[in-house]
Amino acid sequence: MEQNVLSDTVFGAVQSIIAVVARYWDMLITPGWRQYQVLIVLGLIMAAVALRFVTYKQWDNWARTREGWPKWRLRILVQVLRRLTLIYFTLMSWGVYLVMQEVTWPSRSYLIGAAAKLAFAWLAIALISRFIANPSLRKLATWLLWGYVTLAVFNWVDDAAAILDSVAIDFGNLHLSLLVLLKAVVLATAMLAFARAASGLAERGLRRNEDLSPSMQVLAGKAVQVVLYGVAFTIVIRSIGFDLTGLAVLSGAIGVGIGFGLQKVVSNLVSGIIILMDRSIKPGDVISLGETFGWINALGARYVSVVTRDGREYLIPNEDLITSQVVNWSHSNRYVRLDLKFGTSYDDDPHKVRKIAIAAAMTVDRVLEKDDMRAVCHVVGFGDSSVDYVLRFWISDPTGGLTNIRGNVFLALWDAFKAEGISIPFPQREFRLLNDAIPVQAATEAPSQAQGGSAAKLD
């Protein structure tokens, strides 16, 4: 029964469309000024194409000399050059329309005026829509506006609305028609664009607020974003005529679905909120998680963006930051102490080695020279072939990297030790061969086997 009603509704809508098209077609083919207006419009189109063909090169050469213009102005200029034909047609059609309005009856320039209005509207929509960053949203908005303007110019809005509203399905008190769905799509597009722009503006304003910590800035921005998108969703749903109280019946099923199907997503979302509220990490912090070392680039609802020194960006789920051990190199402050281990020969004075090592470390740019953070060097042991030391120094910019500063300090140590005659030993082994322990033949072969750094000594 419902299928028959829907079929009759669609058939009636198609008949209405055919009737409207036939009525306007009869108006066009009826002898009189309408045919002359059609010919004038076609002539203006050909003139615009020819004029664009003649002048495009001059306009293009002029545009290439505008290198000092801002980027937004250059983008508009590119769009204008792409639509030279439409611009010429708009100018000429409006000129002809205004002249005919003065010299003849208004009805004799109706089609020319409609063409001029359409051309101007299409041109304005094409240029203004370029400010919409999302390509899909821009295309949708462009087609919807073009369709509405076309209907408005020919006074077809009421007819189109009646046809779209006639194709409908009733669910109790809910009247769901093509007109309602189209309005919902338009409203949803506008509300989502507004919510996105408003949330972006709010986030930029929060980032400029120095009284808020980076974590609170992100948390407040996410809260504003959720509220704006929630309001947009509510407005769109109510515009359809859907009773929001009916959602209470589905809340239990939705909760079960979230509990099973979206467990990980919800876990990451809750973990992200916890991270923002306890402020354990924030944008700009330097962290280590497993083998990943880098700084926090952004905090998202589902993941944290970590950028490493080699330019890689890792998207780490928020749950991993809650359940795993994370080393935050800049949680309470940005000061980091680094340790370098090295060894020198037993022939070198350890007191002198310590002074040389400290002085060498202080020559590196990023090493701090504060009184309580000055570099220190300690003897930590006597090894098999060297006296072992540890050199400790502080830096205040872990985002600049740790491996590179260690390498620079090692190079400074190398240069200082070379200049002062301090030697860095390598492992050696000494073998003692007793005369009675091996045959004479083996003793004569011992020197050849001792090659490669081992010393053979016979007692």
pLDDT tens track for 417-455: 999 999 988 776 667 777 665 555 544 454 444 444 444
User: Over the stretch 175-199, which tens digit does the pLDDT of each residue have?
Assistant: 777 788 888 888 887 888 888 888 8
Report pLDDT for 14: 61
Q: Are residues 415 and 439 in the same domain?
A: no
Q: Are residues 7 and 35 in the same domain?
A: yes
Of residues 312 and 258, more confidence is placed in 312
Q: Looking at residue 370, which CATH number applies to its domain?
A: 3.30.70.100
| End-of-domain residue from the set 143, 173, 203 | 173
Q: Is 319 a domain residue?
A: no
Structure confidence at residue 243 as a pLDDT band (50, 70, 90): low
Q: Are residues 22 and 114 in the same domain?
A: yes
C-alpha separations of 165 from 18, 23, 155, 161, 237 in Å: 16, 21, 17, 6, 18
Structure confidence at residue 252 as a pLDDT band (50, 70, 90): low
| End-of-domain residue from the set 130, 154, 173 | 173
User: Over the stretch 44-84, which tens digit does the pLDDT of each residue have?
Assistant: 899 999 998 998 888 888 888 877 788 878 888 888 888 88
Using alpha carbons, select from 267, 263, 295 the residue that is nearest to residue 282.
295
Of residues 365 and 215, more confidence is placed in 365
| End-of-domain residue from the set 135, 151, 173 | 173
Q: Is the pLDDT of residue 5 over 80?
A: no
Using only C-alpha atoms, what is the Rg of the chain? 40
Q: How far apart are the first and last CA of the chain?
A: 115
Q: Are residues 158 and 119 in the same domain?
A: yes
Distance CA 199, CA 224 (A): 6
Q: Are residues 343 and 451 in the same domain?
A: no
Structure confidence at residue 155 as a pLDDT band (50, 70, 90): confident
| Torsion sign, CA atoms 55, 60, 65, 68 | positive
Report pLDDT for 419: 92
> pTM value?
0.50
In the predicted model, what is the mean pLDDT of residues 278-286?
80
Q: Are residues 57 and 115 in the same domain?
A: yes
Q: Is the pLDDT of residue 8 over 60?
A: no
Q: Is 39 a domain residue?
A: yes
Max mean pLDDT among 128-132, 221-225, 328-332, 335-339 falls in 335-339
Report pLDDT for 167: 72
Number of independent structural domains in the chain: 3
Q: Is 61 a domain residue?
A: yes
Q: What is the residue range of 167's domain?
A: 2-173
Q: Is 228 a domain residue?
A: no
Max mean pLDDT among 92-96, 160-164, 222-226, 432-436 falls in 92-96
Distance CA 53, CA 229 (A): 48
Q: Is 289 a domain residue?
A: no
Report pLDDT for 50: 92
Q: Is 406 a domain residue?
A: yes
User: Over the stretch 13-37, which tens digit does the pLDDT of each residue have?
Assistant: 566 666 666 665 565 555 555 677 7
Report pLDDT for 410: 95
Strands 455-458 and 430-433: parallel
Q: Are residues 383 and 455 in the same domain?
A: no
Percent of the chain predicted with pLDDT > 90: 15
Report pLDDT for 74: 81
